[in-house]
Amino acid sequence: MKIGILTSGGDCAGLNAAIGAVTVNAALKGYQVLGLRGGTRGLMGTEPNFEVLQPAHFTSDVMRSPSTFLGTTNRGNPFAYPMDDGTVVDRSDEIIGNIKKLGIETLIGIGGDGSLDILNQLTRKGGINLMWMPKTIDNDVCETEVAIGFYSAVATAFRFLNDLHATAQTHDMIMVTEIMGRDAGHLALHSGVAAHVDIILIPEIEYAFENLVKKYEQVRASGRSYMQVLVSEAVKTPDGEAVTVAHNTGSVRYGGIGQHLKRKLQEALKVEVRVQSPGHTLRGCSPTAGDIILAQQFGVKVIDLISQKKFGRMAAMQYGSIVDVPVEKVAGRSRPVTASDAMVHTARGLNISLGDQ
């Protein structure tokens, strides 16, 4: 059996361990794995961009290396692909044609919710089996408690916040850190609790600016003159406006809420406020041992499922066990932080303000 594997969406830590686990375990079962380069973009045009993956390639240094050696893309839905001449074209048939040309019967995708939605439509249209391994620093894939890359991003954000602490303390500053996560606050919540910051703002919980001022007053009353605020990129301004940045590629992304809050806090509190962001270090960091283990567990699980002819499944972590769920149950949905989330409870229990009280 020929299996294709691709990484899709933004990169993160642990992807090479996931590809390696699939390749090594597939070889043990007599399957060949083709690595598809550049995500769906590498399957457009007349010549698919691929390589035959060899288990011997996956030495421990490759397994623990960051990002994805296959490359990936988080731009351009193939069903409505923006061409250089400004037209929008459906390129799904080109991709399906190339997968078939390579003799691939089963495609393993490693990606987030957006990529799964696209690959699910593509493989259904082409009659190709799909298997999925969830990855995203946003941790917003449904039906799994954790996705590949999340805890490496949490560890990186945690170090970043810790490294700001001493300077904030020495110079009596308010440090505002803006962090990725798209529309989900999991990354901010986990790393903010780990670093024990004073305020965590996430898009799922509406905040009032007065509560940030109130928290600073409490901090001062406790004998401290510095404060750490962590804000997730999709948090709106106190007036309810989303803050975005337009890139030269035409894409519009979240970015800038940290600067906005800095101006407001400086004005209200008359103290020095600085803004920082770990940015793409959250994605390009080296994987933690936990992420390498998770990626390897998911990799072995999808090959097990293929050998049992259980197609259309996603490897997932539920109640600490590796399980599988139907991709149909996951595609087109996402998993925001809910009010009953254990981390919300923990943050409140640690007297960390979420801006709503």
In the complex, the residues that contact ligand F6P under the rule CB under 6 A are 10, 74, 136-138, 180-182, 233, 253-254, 283
d(CA 211, CA 354): 9
Q: Which is nearer to ligand F6P, 98 or 232 (CB)?
A: 232
Which conformational region is residue 223 in: left (phi greater than 0), alpha (psi within -120 to 50 degrees), or beta? Answer: left
198 in catalytic set? no
Smallest distance, Å, CB 157 to ligand F6P?
Answer: 11
Q: Which is nearer to ligand F6P, 46 or 249 (CB)?
A: 249
To which H or E segment does residue 327 belong? helix 327-330
d(CA 42, CA 98): 10
Instruction: Give the active site residue among 11, 113, 117, 138.
Output: 138
Q: Which is nearer to ligand F6P, 143 or 324 (CB)?
A: 143
Smallest distance, Å, CB 236 to ligand F6P?
Answer: 15
Which conformational region is residue 169 in: left (phi greater than 0), alpha (psi within -120 to 50 degrees), or beta? Answer: alpha
Smallest distance, Å, CB 182 to ligand F6P?
Answer: 4
For 291, the token pair is 């992420």
- Cβ(196)–Cβ(158) under 8 Å? no
Smallest distance, Å, CB 118 to ligand F6P?
Answer: 14
- Cβ(5)–Cβ(35) under 8 Å? yes
- Cβ(202)–Cβ(185) under 8 Å? yes
**Residue in the structure block whose two tokens are 């406790």:** 222
Question: In terms of DSSP H, where are the helices of 183-334?
Answer: 186-195, 209-221, 257-269, 281-284, 289-307, 327-330
Q: Which is nearer to ligand F6P, 143 or 233 (CB)?
A: 233
Smallest distance, Å, CB 181 to ligand F6P?
Answer: 5
Nearest residue to ligand F6P, scored by beta-carbon proximity: 180
Q: Which is nearer to ligand F6P, 138 or 324 (CB)?
A: 138
* Active site (catalytic) residues: 138
